[in-house]
Structure 1
Amino acid sequence: MSTLQTLDRGLRALDIVSQSPSGISVADLSRELDVHRAICYRIVATLEEHSLVTRTADGRIRLGVAAAVLASRFEPQFAADVRPVLHALADKTRATAFVSVAQGQHCVVIMVAEPEGTLLRVGYRVGSSHPIERGAAGIAILALRPESPGDSDAVRRARADGYSLTRGQIEHGAVGIASGIALPQGVGPSTGLERSVGVVALDGLDTDRAADAVMSTAREIERLISV
């Protein structure tokens, strides 16, 4: 496959900058890109012209406002693509299905779907937030991150199994199952797109069947956001 080298370098530079929340110097960026510093300056200047990066007072490079605008435009597209898949998961498992996103040290529900014809439902609503290390949704997101000595047993188990299963951590009597949604290649956690999909129910959840359905849904969402 033929690619444009300059465009490729610019996109790689954006990815590197996105993984440096405190900013990165031009010298360090040029080393990461393996290009001469003069070429790196031109790449940065071009990205800066389009507000994709900006310079701090000490000259370090950070993401610019245009990167946030692009991310915000992705959200409606994500919601439109994922909503029918999430409803299908809810109906298949007879449980409340959800998509959650990492936000600092918390996990926030951004989408919810209820199964048709079910009267007993869990109080899981858009905007619900809990510490990322508690509950299936947050643990599933942590399991997608690189291994760390500080990982809990729950995160290690979720990484090995492909999903997290928790009982009563967020709501008494509730069982939650979630699987992380892997980011497209080249996109880092610092973009703020770390997500998981899962289901939660108060009782009667067939956990083995639900785990298979949740993992299958996570792979389907990954396919949708990668095309």
Structure 2
Amino acid sequence: MSKTLHNGLQVLELLVTHPQGMSLTEIAEAVGVHRTVAHRLVRTLEAHQLCRRDKFKRISLGTGLVRLAEPVEQDLRTLARPILEELTDATQATAHLVVRENESQVRMLMIVEPHQARMHVSFRPGQMDPIDRGSAGLAILAALPPTTGEREEVTRARERGFAVSHGEISHGIVGISAVVPRSGTEMPISIGLSLFEAPDEDKLGAEVVEAATRLAAQLG
């Protein structure tokens, strides 16, 4: 096994769990290498756009990782698109596919907007949100075992089979999401809707759960 490659991958794994960034000294101490070695590792990762430094010299993950993940996520998007399109046609609401990015964040992987609705919610693909805010993250947390101090909304989502949020990501927007049921080793995914009002949360929740179940079957 290549020790240098191993250490470089350790740096990336560390940065995944520290979305706010880390100093070079913190990285060196966590990996167990001299600061000079950590500097070389980071410079190499920077050259491949796998990490970056901000104006305070804190190091975080870089955009090059998105490019590397693209082939894997492309298969997921290909399978999910027709399901999201059917969901948005049935509800006339914006449908979204969200993945867990790290311990504290989720990422909007795909957005499908309704064509016939007079008004609809719009999001930017790639948008990052806190995992404990918004229906997508709450649905993913609800798929995990209960924890002490978890939000009441997570507990409620575990009981209902889908999560509901009100104005947590965007003011005045209702979110309804369900986790895609998969084995514990797979990347957590949720399917959901964003809309201005939800007069029948249970009906919309059932639509979302059905879509999530269909995607799970497609993924195998």
Place the TM-score, normalised by the shorter chain, in its bin. Answer: 0.5 to 0.7
TM-score calculated relative to the size of structure 2: 0.65
User: Who is 2:129 aligned against?
Assistant: 130
Q: Cα distance, 1:128 vs. partner?
A: 1.8
SS at match of 2:132: coil
Contact 2:113 2:122 in 1 (8 A): no
SS at match of 2:137: helix
Residues 1:200 and 2:198 aligned together: no
Structure 1 stretches lacking a partner, 5+ long? 1-20, 23-55, 59-68
Q: Cα distance, 1:71 vs. partner?
A: 6.7
User: Who is 1:219 aligned against?
Assistant: 213
SS at match of 1:154: helix
CA deviations on 1:16-55 (whole Å, 9 max, x unpaired) are xxxxx79xxxxxxxxxxxxxxxxxxxxxxxxxxxxxxxxx
Aligned residue runs from structure 1 range 56-71, under 5 A: none
1:91 counterpart (89, 92, 112) = 89
Contact 1:112 1:126 in 2 (8 A): yes
Q: Distance in 2 between matches of 1:201 and 1:219?
A: 21
Q: Distance in 2 between matches of 1:170 and 1:197?
A: 16
Residues 1:139 and 2:133 aligned together: no
Structure 2 stretches lacking a partner, 5+ long? 1-12, 15-30, 34-66
Residues 57 and 131 of structure 1, relative CA distance in 2, 3 Å threshold: closer
Q: Cα distance, 1:123 vs. partner?
A: 2.7
Aligned residue runs from structure 1 range 161-200, under 5 A: 161-183=160-182, 185=183, 187-188=184-185, 193-200=187-194
Residues 1:210 and 2:204 aligned together: yes
Over aligned residue pairs, what C-alpha RMSD do you find? 2.5
Q: Distance in 2 between matches of 1:110 and 1:205?
A: 27
TM-score calculated relative to the size of structure 1: 0.63
SS at match of 1:199: strand
User: Who is 2:100 aligned against?
Assistant: 102
Q: Cα distance, 1:70 vs. partner?
A: 10
Q: Distance in 1 between matches of 2:118 and 2:172?
A: 17
Contact 1:95 1:205 in 2 (8 A): no
User: Who is 1:74 aligned against?
Assistant: 72
User: Who is 1:9 aligned against?
Assistant: none
Q: Cα distance, 1:57 vs. partner?
A: 8.3
Contact 1:140 1:180 in 2 (8 A): yes
Q: Cα distance, 1:209 vs. partner?
A: 1.8
CA deviations on 1:78-122 (whole Å, 9 max, x unpaired) are 111110000100111110000111112111110011112123121
Q: Kindly, what percent of the aligned residue pairs are identical?
A: 31
User: Who is 2:44 aligned against?
Assistant: none
What letter is aligned with 1:150? G
Q: Distance in 1 between matches of 2:179 and 2:124?
A: 19
SS at match of 2:90: helix
SS at match of 1:110: strand
Larger RCO of the pair (alpha carbons < 8 Å, separation 6+): 1
